[in-house]
Amino acid sequence: MAGSVICGLLFAGTNLIPPLLIRQLIQWITEASADSSDLIRVTFALLGLYLIRGATRYGYGYFSHVTAYRVMHNLMVRVYRHMQRQPHRFFNYKQTGSLISASINDIESVEDFIAHGIPETILATILPFSMIVVLFVLNPQLALIVLVPIPLASWLVYRYLSRARRMWRVIRENLANLVALVQDNLSGIAVIKAFSQENRRAELVEEKSMGFRDGMLRVSLVGQLPMGIIELAGGLGIVLVIWMGGSMALIGHTTVADLFVFIVYMGHIYQPFLTLASINDVLQKAAASVDRVFALLAEKPDIVDPPGALVPHNVDFSIAFDKVTFGYEPDATILHEVTFDVSPGEIVALVGPTGAGKTTISALIPRFWDVQSGTVTVANHDVRTLQLEFLRRNVASVLQDVFLFHGTVLENVLFGRPEASNHEVIDAVKAANAEEFIINLPDGFETVVGERGVRLSGGQKQRLSIARALLKDAPILILDEATSSVDAETESLIQEAITRLASNRTSVIIAHRLSTIRSADKIIVLDDGRIVESGTNHALMAANGLYARMVQSQDLNRDWRIHRDVDEIVTY
């Protein structure tokens, strides 16, 4: 930016000198005191100035863009890293599309501000005032006339700028809402089509787009005012200079050469203001975008490493909850004084009705949320004292709603441990019972799975997530309803893979199909955020409590019982 400013100052200087050289030439000609050598010197001097002018104009534009693109890159990375540090609560209340708009579109507007706004503003400030100083040296009385239109024009433009910035802030919000709506629609396109809501969702996009369009039209309506005001002020200044300067020249109070400099400078004095007015929309849009970007950066994450965060060595990865009370909102408690422990290598299953708090417990182990009271300990340390990277590196999760990135099968398996060897990858997919379907894919491991793994079946995605967890090889495993939405045969394959995955790991399994967790070392039954029963499958069945009733209500042959009442069964 310093290089851009220096080139801009030199460029401004080259605008000052040519009229003065021509003024000198006019004086020599009118006084008949020059010869051809003087003309040659002036000509070569002008040639040199215009060469410098071209070089400095290039340098001033190039350096400002280099600065802008570097800042844009750094700011995008900084904003993205900042968003990654935000807790789950932050994303629960923000639309993904709005965050994308702030971290991409708004930052791109900042690039325009740096590349064009800063250097043009510097020139628009320095060049006119430099020329006015020269004019005062030549003829103070005539220079005062030049200044007559400037205060009024400046006041009118200032009034516009304050209004335009408020308008642009609303427009950027409207754009963010439009982007968020389109992103939601594209993510849920299958649901939109399934419910025949294409027209309604398109009408919503049209409504948001119309609001954005109308805002742009309103700001454009007043956006052209500065151009008109400055053109009028510049024209008025030139008329006054010609009238007053011509009158003074006629009576000998100024020279034709000085009058020439005044007229030429008048064009240059107002031109920077015209340039600034022409890019004013860019500046105001950038100012509004900067407000949004800095507001995003001002969001402080509340799940952070404490001072002196611990990274224990040679530990056993046990888990313990001690009188844990938690709610996603302060006045809506989900868990009530939950207490249990999982010994190293033990498999503990969490069961209970929907909304009992099972998934909430699994989210507290890797510290996605902080408890309101009580403690959650991992490796005999309160998770709030552990380094987050250490804690989460040692926890692997296999969830019901599997998320796969838009990339190849191999890239998704390697996600948890990118440095793993090909041999380790093969072992992981074999253990996850995924090798057979991967081999049959069009490009094997190099097959692109699509956004969120859309090109794979639910069971295939689930087995890839198990392979990913196996490859990560973390000592703590969390399984959240990993087999609830697949058929019986796929469930069998996944269950085999889970058995291998849970071997010698401290495992917390959330189960929908209770038949899959009967061999767990301990089963914890939750109801309304409280532990109501705990024990082995045999002991809980003997107790004939909530767990026993849940097991009895799940007919192990439910699928076949349902099939008895259908008119026809077709097997593929």
- Residue 535 maps to which CATH number? 3.40.50.300
Q: Are residues 330 and 363 in the same domain?
A: yes
**H-type helices in 104-224, by residue range?**
106-112, 118-138, 140-147, 149-187, 189-194, 198-223
**Per-residue model confidence (pLDDT) at position 33:** 65
What's the whole-number mean pLDDT along residues 160-178?
76
Could you tell me if residue 507 is inside a domain? no
**Per-residue model confidence (pLDDT) at position 99:** 83
Assign 125 to helix, strand or coil. helix
Band (189; pLDDT cuts 50, 70, 90): confident
Q: Are residues 293 and 319 in the same domain?
A: no
Q: Are residues 231 and 89 in the same domain?
A: yes
Q: Look at residue 10 and tell me whether its pLDDT is greater than 70.
A: yes
Q: Are residues 81 and 135 in the same domain?
A: yes
Q: Are residues 289 and 371 in the same domain?
A: no
Say if residues 391 and 365 touch (Cβ distance below 8 Å).
no
Residues 6 or more apart whose CB falls under 8 angstroms from that of 232 comprise 149, 153
Q: Are residues 269 and 363 in the same domain?
A: no
Say if residues 178 and 215 touch (Cβ distance below 8 Å).
no
**Per-residue model confidence (pLDDT) at position 161:** 64
Residue 51 vs residue 14, higher pLDDT: 51
Could you tell me if residue 511 is inside a domain? no
Could you tell me if residue 124 is inside a domain? yes
Could you tell me if residue 247 is inside a domain? yes
Strands 347-351 and 522-527 turn out to be: parallel
Band (557; pLDDT cuts 50, 70, 90): very low
Q: What are phi and psi of 507, to 5 degrees?
A: -120, 135
Say if residues 530 and 326 touch (Cβ distance below 8 Å).
no
**pLDDT one-digit tens code per residue, 137-154:** 888 888 887 777 777 767
Q: Look at residue 559 and tell me whether its pLDDT is greater than 60.
A: no
**Per-residue model confidence (pLDDT) at position 374:** 94
Residue 372 vs residue 494, higher pLDDT: 372
**H-type helices in 422-544, by residue range?**
422-431, 435-439, 458-472, 488-502, 537-543
**Per-residue model confidence (pLDDT) at position 159:** 67
Hey, CA dihedral for 178, 183, 188, 194, is it positive or negative? Answer: positive
Domain termination residue (choose one: 269, 297, 325): 297
Q: Are residues 215 and 345 in the same domain?
A: no
- CA atoms of 112 and 282, how far apart (whole Å): 7
What's the whole-number mean pLDDT along residues 93-102?
79
Residue 342 vs residue 260, higher pLDDT: 342
Q: Domain count of the chain?
A: 2
- CA atoms of 300 and 201, how far apart (whole Å): 34
Share of the chain above pLDDT 70, in %: 88
Band (565; pLDDT cuts 50, 70, 90): low
Say if residues 318 and 378 touch (Cβ distance below 8 Å).
yes
Q: Look at residue 276 and tell me whether its pLDDT is greater than 70.
A: no
Could you tell me if residue 326 is inside a domain? yes
User: Which segment of 83-92, 214-223, 539-548 scores lowest on mean pLDDT?
Assistant: 214-223
Say if residues 156 and 70 touch (Cβ distance below 8 Å).
no
Domain termination residue (choose one: 297, 330, 353): 297
Say if residues 425 and 413 touch (Cβ distance below 8 Å).
yes
What average pLDDT is seen over the chain? Answer: 82
What CATH number should be reported for the domain holding residue 31?
Answer: 1.20.1560.10
Q: Look at residue 277 and tell me whether its pLDDT is greater than 70.
A: no
Q: Look at residue 53 and tell me whether its pLDDT is greater than 60.
A: yes
Q: Look at residue 408 and tell me whether its pLDDT is greater than 50.
A: yes
Question: What are the angstrom distances between the C-alpha of 247 and each of 250, 254, 256, 257, 459?
Answer: 5, 9, 11, 14, 92
Residues 6 or more apart whose CB falls under 8 angstroms from that of 203 comprise none
Band (556; pLDDT cuts 50, 70, 90): very low
> If 0-12 CB within 10 Å is exposed, 13-18 middle and 19+ buried, where does residue 550 land?
middle
Helix axes 2-31, 256-278, angle to 10 degrees: 160
Say if residues 496 and 461 touch (Cβ distance below 8 Å).
no
Residues 6 or more apart whose CB falls under 8 angstroms from that of 431 comprise 467, 470, 497, 500, 501
Q: Are residues 48 and 131 in the same domain?
A: yes
Q: Look at residue 93 and tell me whether its pLDDT is greater than 50.
A: yes
Could you tell me if residue 478 is inside a domain? no
**pLDDT one-digit tens code per residue, 473-528:** 889 988 887 665 555 666 676 677 777 777 778 989 887 777 778 888 899 999 99
Q: Look at residue 382 and tell me whether its pLDDT is greater than 90.
A: yes
- CA atoms of 201 and 383, how far apart (whole Å): 44
Question: What are the angstrom distances between the C-alpha of 284 and each of 110, 202, 218, 278?
Answer: 10, 30, 14, 11
Q: Are residues 108 and 211 in the same domain?
A: yes
Hey, which residues does 523 pair with through a beta bridge?
A: 349, 535
User: Which segment of 75-84, 202-211, 250-259, 342-351 scores lowest on mean pLDDT?
Assistant: 250-259
**Per-residue model confidence (pLDDT) at position 490:** 63
Q: Are residues 22 and 85 in the same domain?
A: yes
Q: Give the DSSP letter string of 304-362.
A: -PPTT-B---S----EEEEEEEE-SBTTB--EEEEEEEE-TT-EEEEE-STTSSHHHHH
Q: Are residues 340 and 200 in the same domain?
A: no
Domain termination residue (choose one: 263, 297, 331): 297
Q: Look at residue 278 and tell me whether its pLDDT is greater than 70.
A: no
Could you tell me if residue 540 is inside a domain? yes
**Per-residue model confidence (pLDDT) at position 563:** 53
Q: Are residues 184 and 328 in the same domain?
A: no
**Per-residue model confidence (pLDDT) at position 463:** 85
**Residues spanned by the domain of 358:** 312-386+516-572
**Per-residue model confidence (pLDDT) at position 446:** 92
User: Which segment of 129-133, 194-198, 282-286, 406-410 scores lowest on mean pLDDT?
Assistant: 282-286
Question: For 315, how many CA atoms within 13 A lie in the half-sphere containing its CB?
Answer: 19
